[in-house]
Structure 1
């Protein structure tokens, strides 16, 4: 494997920025999860309707509260993958299989953050439609009704005011989507740098390679002596073009493959 130092220096720098950014994003998402779920426990659909919120908006609001759990999961997975990428790029490795694994982590991270970004957008839309931009007033009325109807039993046990924490959460949520977009740009940069590395596995036994993100094999060079895992060997052959007698390059571009069948 050819490993120009500049490629990995840039990739390593972006990976460090990415993990630092995801530390903040994950912490924010966990804070949001706590605030939204605590608020959802304190109020219900009947309380919201009594406070003047129609049934459809109430349902959207409560769905957004509980849906935050789905956002934390891909963020936690992305954070884990980013740490793997950072650790690997900080290490001194020379095997082709190592950079392929790092590439796989990067594609998996991109997929996880893309999912989180879509979920954040959905939740934000639900909140906006349900609350019509007046979070403080509507939540305050809903909480007031909850206190009256429940005798403040559940709310009084909360360690800090739900109203203020929820308003903070909604303010924080507006910036979460932007932070996720920035993280996605960083992931794209890491992938772009890693794809510049020339990887030649001709004659290498790759049978122990376990991939979930086969994009990680893009542009990898191999030959008839390369041993691929049985589960992907056929797809590797189908997605490769012969670049010289007996030597192949894996590509995901159908146009490149069309003239080499």
Structure 2
């Protein structure tokens, strides 16, 4: 069906059934048959084809606690991870605002993996070249996925906990005005996606589970984008506790400390601006 200029709105990402029915049906079909069809932009949602939030409720025999633990599933997002949502939101907003144009600008996606995969994927579907600055000691699978989607790797020294070096590299690349960075650490479109889309999806996910309320929202933090969903939850459930998890080898938030670890996608030895 050709290139889609911008794809879904925030409202359509939260409520995919609000997209035009023809587009919605094509997107559902393309998710299974053609991953690189641009209509897959309309699959950027936490919900399945029946408009239900993808989730699992962990068995109490497994958790050992009485509280119901609900886990939202991001594996069915295009490119395989929910990071594609904020990547799309950043590029969509820049496109709508006329800051970038397909064929004119190159998109940068500083990352340790999943966000870089999302950036390469979204850039491909929207007609942009993508460069992903990321550490040179991450998993081979992440590099392959980025290249599979047409992204170019720009590797910096280190591992997950050295992501700050990818930020420095991105600053250098941004000196060329052709390059535009989807800077997940500072662009509020990362926050907006997760507060509105992820937050309200989580509120829907607990309907019919226990008392239907959220007592605690726990999330591993990198940029703190996903953590933003908690702000929306507290509007509905003021008693909700927000818990940020980080590696004990690198307790930056709790102890202002530094350290090395191998947990990909968490604990980046820095506090992002959107935090």
Report the TM-score when normalising by structure 1: 0.25
Higher helix share: 1
Higher strand share: 2
Larger gyration radius, structure 1 or structure 2: 1
